[in-house]
Amino acid sequence: MPRISLAACCLALLSAGCGGGANSTLPPEAAVQDSLTQIAELCRNYQFTKQKPPQKLSDFNTSRTMGANGFQALEKGDVILLYNAKLPDLDEDPGHADTAEILAYEKSVPTSGGQVLLLNRTIRSMTPEEFKAAPRPAGAHEATPEPAAKKK
């Protein structure tokens, strides 16, 4: 009988987590912050593992599940990441470095303002004017289109 109870509990917990994804129930601003936080973790994990910053979206393929909403936001173009941006620290907690350099941003930020992920992995809101004036990491670049896989 304990196996049935344990199985029922597991099934209940799994079904509670299923659905349209974590961002589907969050208000839009919170969903963007969630995506930016996940992108920061994807970048931190990649740089920690590979000892270099990510160069393209496919660099996250092996770890995309740990930041699925962030990866999806990048894939859809809802968030723009500046690739080749070296994080100043790889501590688990963000904000240890004092920097105003941009790492990623909502696609609407240049024209309407919105949420921006800084190189120290903190998030802040910027106006279009603040965004234009904010520094970018040396050597960083926006994604270049990756060739699509050929279908047979």
> Each residue of 70-103: pLDDT tens digit?
999 999 999 999 999 999 988 888 887 888 899 9
Q: Is residue 102 part of a domain?
A: yes
* pLDDT > 70 fraction of the chain, expressed in percent and rounded: 78
Q: Is residue 14 part of a domain?
A: no
| Of 21, 54, 58, the residue nearest 40 (C-alpha) | 54
Host domain of residue 80: 25-137
**Which of 36-40, 75-79, 109-113, 144-148 shows the lowest mean pLDDT across its residues?**
144-148
Q: How confident is the model at residue 134 (pLDDT cuts 50, 70, 90)?
A: very high
Quick one: CA dihedral 77, 80, 86, 92, positive or negative? negative
Q: How confident is the model at residue 11 (pLDDT cuts 50, 70, 90)?
A: very low
Number of domains in the chain: 1
pTM: 0.77
| Mean pLDDT for the chain overall | 82
Q: Is residue 113 part of a domain?
A: yes
What DSSP letter does each residue of 31-62 carry, written as one string?
Answer: HHHHHHHHHHHHHHHHHHHHSS---SGGGGTT
What's the chain's length in residues? 152
* Res. 15: pLDDT tops 80: no
Q: Is residue 48 part of a domain?
A: yes
d(CA 128, CA 126): 6
